[in-house]
Amino acid sequence: MLIFVLQNIAEILAGGTSLTSTEQIEFSHPSNRSEEGGGPTLNLYIYDIRESKQLQHSGRQVERKLTRGLQPATVSWTPHWFDVSLLLTAWDRTALGEHHLLSEALTLLLRHRSLREEFLIPELRGYGNLTMTVAVEPTIEVGSLWSALTIPLRPALYLTMTVPIEAQSTSVPLVWDRIIQLQNQFGNGSVEAITKQIAIAGVVKSAVTNLPLVAEVKVMGTEKLSTSNKEGLFFFDDLRLGNYVLTLNCPGYLLQNVNVLVDSPSCTFKEILLTPA
């Protein structure tokens, strides 16, 4: 994701300043470049990454569909948002050349306080417009920043772009929305259907390989016992609201207890990782 941030800002700068291509934009540490020689160049360097205070959405999202069978479902994580702070400096043979190039960059970037999605590269799309701020001071103390860079203080712009970083999506059967239906046909031909809603469901995986495990799962304090299938999936139905403890036993792995809270009519899903013995 960080590479895409640099690429997107570089394309904006190359298209709106006197630079003719992104090849005139460097991404290495500023101290690696000599001040003398060479044509006009912009240096774009990431110096700080931290979780955004404005956007802090995280958690699991499940595409839910009521079904009587085990149909595939997409399980994904909503992204964590990070503020990526960048230092933009200009290099040229003369100070006037550097100031001219930096002025061009400042004028251009001030028009892009919010990067519209249609102007983002494909890898950054899908999250709406992304915010970018241009500041006269960095997110950390300016003297400390330049001291850490081990180069003399010079004119620069400080950019902060807020970007999403998310875990990889996975697909698992949608067992937690499965409804068990029992039919009882009476002598008069009528049919009575009894449905049971799953209360707890989950998937058991190895903490080392992340592969599914066939494990025995027991709800402590009850007679409920289940064994996860080859995809690591298990479920329990007909549980009252409350706190429960699941005990998982799998040959070759440490015995593990997991707390589960059933606090609504909908299903509680757990992803459990077992550690090899």
Average pLDDT for residues 212-226, to the nearest whole number?
93
Domain 174-184+194-274 sits in CATH at 2.60.40.1120
Q: What pTM, to 2 d.p., does this model score?
A: 0.54
The CATH code of domain 2-59+80-165 reads: 3.30.2000
Question: pLDDT per residue over 239-271, tens digit each?
Answer: 888 888 999 999 999 999 998 888 776 677 788
Read off the pLDDT of residues 79-136 as tens digits, 9 standing for 90 and up.
788 999 999 999 988 889 899 999 999 998 888 777 888 888 888 888 888 888 888 6
CA dist., res. 163 & res. 243, Å (int) = 37
Read off the pLDDT of residues 126-168 as tens digits, 9 standing for 90 and up: 888 888 888 867 878 888 899 999 988 889 999 999 888 876 5
- Burial label, 91 (beta-carbon count in 10 A; 0-12, 13-18, 19+): buried
CA atoms within 13 A on the CB side of 21: 2
For 225-243, what is each residue's pLDDT tens digit? 999 988 888 888 878 888 8
Amino acid at 172: V
Cα–Cα distance for residue pair 234/216, rounded to 1 Å: 9
Starting from the edge strand earliest in sequence, which strands make up the sheet with 41-51, in order?
25-26, 41-51, 80-91, 157-165, 130-135, 114-115
Query: Residue ranges of the domains in the chain?
Result: 2-59+80-165, 174-184+194-274
